[in-house]
Amino acid sequence: MADRLDTPTERKFKFFRRRSSGDGFGQFAEATARFMGSPKFILYMTIFVVTWIAANVVLYEVSEKYAWDPYPFILLNLAFSTQASYSAPLILLAQNRQDDRDRVQAEQDRQRAERNLADTEYLTREIAALRIALQDVATRDFVRSELRDMLNDLREELEERDERFSQLSAQANTDQEEDSADLSTPLHADS
């Protein structure tokens, strides 16, 4: 017995269990519609009709009392009408289920397309930002030209310093020679 009376117990017989999906009739309708749309069904139906008509014609020729459905084939017509009255709603139910699946699939496709569009737009913005950032980044040729310019400036400055140093050293040499010439001349005392 169940611990609680408000909780139903499982049924013991599998025959009476309900299907968990609750969509068994819809699946049956789809299977029926799928079968009725197959060449196998048309072949079976053709064999059935030919057999029915042949049996009734032959039995009518032998004896009228053995033919269960004589020439106008009213019973066969009734069977076809009954089949049509059941198959049409089953086919419509199967089509409705397919429409529902198509609607869900279309919604999922639309959402996927929106995500792809958003991702594409994001990547486009990122690529544009990278392009703008790369325009600000110094390229190899730009760096080389700047380094060449700086090297030329340094060479010119070095040449100017060498020239200045040469001038200063030449002036220092002339000053030193003058000083040494002054030292070598005797001092005259004018007293």
128 token code pair: 């544009």
Burial class (CB in 10 A: 0-12, 13-18, 19+), 129: exposed
- Mean pLDDT of all residues belonging to the chain: 85
Query: Tell me, what's the pLDDT at 16?
Result: 55
pLDDT per position as a tens digit, 95-123: 999 999 999 999 999 999 999 999 999 99
**Cβ(89)–Cβ(32) under 8 Å?**
no
- Mean pLDDT for 156-165 is 92
108 token code pair: 């999922």
**Cβ(30)–Cβ(89) under 8 Å?**
no
Q: Which amino acid is at 119?
A: D
This prediction has a pTM of: 0.50
Query: Tell me, what's the pLDDT at 11?
Result: 62
- Give me the percent of the chain exceeding a pLDDT of 70: 83
